[in-house]
Amino acid sequence: MTRPFSLCVSTLVFNFEIDHKGYSPTNNAHLRANIRSLSISPGSHILMSWLSSNLVKVGQKERAIITVAGIAPDVDGIGLLLDPIIRAFGGTSNYWGQWHHTLHSFTFCMLIAAASYVLAKANKFTVACVAFIVFHLHLLFDLVGSRGPDGYQWPIPYLEPFSDLYTLTWQHQWALNAWQNVVIGFVLLISVGLVAKRYHRSPFEVISKRMDEAFVRMVQRTF
């Protein structure tokens, strides 16, 4: 395997292993569980969004915009990084608990779609529409398969900040480390490989041309 592909697969496998190990009961069990629950979701959202961008005829920049739109809702998880830093300097905060899922909303979706329209160089309307769709696919993924190990479901405040009366939950939501998510993850990876072989591009094009080219070469040699 080339290094980029090895890094991608190893990270996904490592995260799946973490999620299957279980959790020790502590006073912060809920926080710990949901911190670990983030380990798979971003990768799946990235692959799903990038694959969706390949369903329309757009350029590399436009595919990158669509991919970012698909992971944009998770910006509200920034508290996961801020809280430990603030506590390390003697402060107290719970931005993770306060902000998580606050941007999983229709309002933020419209802002992302508008930004996608502005940033796209070509096919602006198409890019905005696909950005709108992948944003909602992100919400769907979270809705059906992101239950934490403690059984807690983060409600999706779809109409925030205008109303807190309508939140999205699904009583049959499966756990983040359930077999369904494992299957979805592998299907996404296989799909990425097929696109790389046929169209000579991969999700790595969003961040690095060299990594993208290395991944495509590996796929071409392997398959």
pLDDT in tens, 138-197: 999 999 988 877 777 778 989 988 887 888 888 888 888 889 999 999 999 999 999 999
Smallest CA-to-CA distance from 167 within 151, 154, 176 is with 154
Q: What single-letter amino acid sits at 210?
A: R
pLDDT in tens, 50-75: 999 999 999 999 999 999 999 999 88
> 3-class DSSP state for residue 151?
coil
Q: What single-letter amino acid sits at 55?
A: L
pLDDT in tens, 94-138: 766 666 678 899 999 999 999 999 999 999 999 999 999 999 999
Range 17-46 average pLDDT: 49
Give residue for tokens 């049959």: 172
DSSP 8-state code for residue 49: H
Give the span between the Cα atoms of 197 and 118, in whole angstroms: 31
Q: What is the share, in percent, of the chain residues with pLDDT greater than 70?
A: 79
Handedness of CA 10, 68, 48, 108 (dihedral sign): positive
Six token digits for residue 87: 């506590």
